[in-house]
Amino acid sequence: MFMLEPVLITDARIEQMLGLAAEMDLEYAQHVHALGMASKEPAVVSDLGRTRVRTLRSMRQSLALLAKLRADAARLEREVAHTARIKEIMHPGGDERPPPKRLFPKDIPAANARADDIRGGVQRLIWSEGLEHSDYDEEKDLEGYFYRSLEDFLAEDRLKDDFTTRDLDEQIAEYANAFGLNTSNIARWRDLPDPDPEVIDQFLADDSDDGLPPKWRKSGSG
């Protein structure tokens, strides 16, 4: 028995087909309308009117499907761009960070104290962006990425020999610039308000980096 090879229909072809279907429906509806206007028989006019209504309904469905296809494509494009932007912010040097030269800091208490100082300053700068008040979940997700990534970066950077001896303001500025935070706030990080610790804990406990729904979103906040 003769078998036809399956044909791959792309999104572009589907969009073209929907557009053609809508155009043909419109052309046919116009033709039926002209016949109805020319006829003097009430029964014929009524039948043609129903045909015209069905044809226009089919046309509207084709246009609605076409609009949905385009909207889905636009949303996917935005999501891809957003994911790429977050990846760029979180990993400016690429996905792989070089392995640390040490397994633990030379002076653990001093490293812990400096990490606390950096954490306090950078958290203030992140908090000053006001992302937790955003109407967009993507921006709230980004704030969570900032807080969690700060902890990841501190865990690695505290292993560096000069971590505790470098200028604190320079270190905080490096983190802020890496996250793309408001540069006008960096110099005055000491004067910025402290973040709400409960909100920070909620963001830090977030599982969305692993593909799970964010805990803050399940809690009904925002």
For residue 168, name the pLDDT band (cuts at 50, 70, 90): very high
C-alpha span between 150 and 146 (Å, rounded): 6
C-alpha span between 127 and 179 (Å, rounded): 12
C-alpha span between 91 and 107 (Å, rounded): 27
Q: What is the pLDDT of residue 5?
A: 59
Q: Per mean pLDDT, which of 8-12, 52-56, 208-212 is the most reliable? A: 52-56
* pLDDT tens digits, 73-106: 777 887 787 777 777 766 666 656 655 556 788 8
Q: Dihedral (C-alpha) 153, 180, 221, 155: value to the nearest 10 degrees?
A: 0
Please state whether the predicted TM-score (pTM) of the whole model is above 0.75: no
Residue with tokens 């406990």: 205
C-alpha span between 107 and 26 (Å, rounded): 78
Range in 7-11, 28-32, 206-210, 216-220 with the lowest mean pLDDT: 216-220
**pLDDT of 107 strictly over 60:** yes
Contact 55, 27 (CB under 8 A): no
**pLDDT of 221 strictly over 50:** no
C-alpha span between 168 and 161 (Å, rounded): 15
Q: Using a pLDDT cut of 70, give the percent of the chain over it.
A: 82
Q: How far is CA 156 from the centre of its chain?
A: 27
For residue 174, name the pLDDT band (cuts at 50, 70, 90): very high
Q: What is the pLDDT of residue 211?
A: 47
For residue 57, name the pLDDT band (cuts at 50, 70, 90): confident
Contact 158, 115 (CB under 8 A): yes
Over residues 142-158, the mean pLDDT reads 88
Residue 206 CB neighbours (<10 A) = 22
Q: Taking all residues of the chain, what is their mean pLDDT, rounded to a whole number?
A: 80
For residue 48, name the pLDDT band (cuts at 50, 70, 90): confident
For residue 114, name the pLDDT band (cuts at 50, 70, 90): very high
* DSSP output for 19-44: HHHHHHHHHHHHHHHHHHHH---HHH
